[in-house]
Amino acid sequence: MDVQPGDVAEEIKRLQRCINDLISLFALPAMWSGGEPSQIVHTLLDALLRMLQLDLVYVRLRDPGGQAPIEMVRFAPSQEQTAQEQTAQEHTAQPQEIGEVFKNWSGAGAQDWPARIRNPMTGRDISIVPLGLGLQGEIGEIVAGSQRADFPRQTERLILSVAANQASIGLQGARLLGEQKHVATELDRRVAQRTAELAAANAELRLEIADRKRAEEALRDSQARLSRAIQNATVGEFAAAIAHEINQPLAAVVANGQACLRWLAAEPPGIAKAQEAAGRIVRDGKEAGEVVRRIRALFKQAAIEKIDLDLNEVIGEVLHLLAGETARKRVAVETDLGRDLAPVVGDRVQLQQVVFNLLLNAIEAMDPVVDRPKKLFIRSKQPSPETVLVEVRDCGPGIKDPDRIFEAFFTTKENGMGMGLAICCSIIDAHHGRLWAASGDGSGATFSFSLPVQAAAAI
């Protein structure tokens, strides 16, 4: 078969156009970078319609980045149609209507599609070429149609195949970019939400901390006022004991003063005896002053001063103060104070108040006892290198409510306030110690408290 020179020239031109079209197609992904799927499809349809002089080109995307399916269609205007008529035609033929024509074969392999169908716009038969978008057509499909009898040529199949591949790459990139944007947006939303929640939680926490500080300050203030109230309330109860305590050295001062005067008035004057009497006056006067000092220290509202203390000295000072009370109530006091106790760090007046309250409660607990001697036993010891222990035991009727005895306002006394042991417990807690009580077998009760040794850093 002879090949005419005109045919060769035409074939060369066709190949040149094919090469130019392929170059244009390979450049499309750069244009599509960052674009939306609808923009990619729109550009693709226009390019194919122009390159291959198609009568119809249709694209359907199944799931473009989580959005609703996208359908687009382009028709080639006939030479007789004006631009206005072409626009009217495109508005008349909706993509969904063209999609109805292809729905029976959508998702099927290319071999299952018919070679020719009727153009729904012109009523003429057209040859169609379906191509899947994606490795398995999962992205969608593209259908190109032409009325030419020789459609598609090999070069047109090549262009359609390359276009489908390029579109698949561009659409996959757009999908990934959309997912990234969605993830970034969701992440930003969650970060903003979490930041707002944390800010609100921090503000609430600051308010709670401020409220707690105010409550703690109010509690400390209330405890201090209650402590002073308890101290002041005990003044009346111990007025007789204090008077007796002071009267003893004062009576001795008067007696020694009278003796001193008699020795000085004698003939000859008994100077040596008078000096001895004067010395006793000085001694008894100092003892009276010491009693007054201890009483003032016990009841004055002085600032708390934590220093190294020997608990045996604290116990001795309180026993000396209560000597008149124990004598008046015929209470025998026995002590077993451990030697070489390690010092504790604390406030002398507060710890005196604790010992004072425990001893007074023990003395008053034995008021009903008439069938046996009244004995008060005080012991101190160091059960471990880190702890000093003090025990106060009586022979009274025992404790009826050991679980409630340290509760505020709980009392078994007729005129009691129920705050003495609660204050004692608060003081021991403030010194990082422990206060507890136990009822004896048959009778009596033992109150014990322990304090840490040299706990200056902790207090």
Please, are residues 55 and 146 in contact by the beta-carbon 8 Å criterion?
A: yes
pLDDT of residue 67: 62
> Distance between terminal CA atoms of the chain?
115
Q: How many CB atoms lie within 10 A of CB 432?
A: 15
pLDDT of residue 412: 58
Q: How many CB atoms lie within 10 A of CB 108?
A: 14
Please, are residues 271 and 277 in contact by the beta-carbon 8 Å criterion?
A: no
Q: How many CB atoms lie within 10 A of CB 203?
A: 10
Residue 423: name the closest of 236, 237, 223 by CA: 223
What is the distance between the alpha carbons of residues 113 and 118, in angstroms, rounded to a whole number? 13
Confidence of residue 238 (pLDDT cuts 50, 70, 90): low
pLDDT higher than 50, residue 118: yes
**DSSP letter assigned to residue 433:** -
DSSP bridge partners of 446:
393, 438
pLDDT higher than 80, residue 367: yes
- By CB atoms closer than 10 A (0-12, 13-18, 19+), residue 103 is exposed
Residue 23: name the closest of 158, 139, 132 by CA: 158
Please, are residues 135 and 148 in contact by the beta-carbon 8 Å criterion?
A: no
Among 253-257, 359-363, 375-379, the range of highest mean pLDDT: 375-379
pLDDT higher than 60, residue 163: yes
pLDDT higher than 80, residue 446: yes
Confidence of residue 343 (pLDDT cuts 50, 70, 90): very high
Confidence of residue 62 (pLDDT cuts 50, 70, 90): confident
pLDDT higher than 90, residue 143: no
Please, are residues 131 and 161 in contact by the beta-carbon 8 Å criterion?
A: yes
Q: Which tops the pLDDT comparison, 111 or 42? A: 42
H or E, element range at 25: helix 5-32
DSSP bridge partners of 306:
347
Confidence of residue 332 (pLDDT cuts 50, 70, 90): very high
pLDDT higher than 50, residue 270: yes
Query: What is the average pLDDT across 236-254?
Result: 63
pLDDT higher than 70, residue 37: yes
Confidence of residue 73 (pLDDT cuts 50, 70, 90): confident
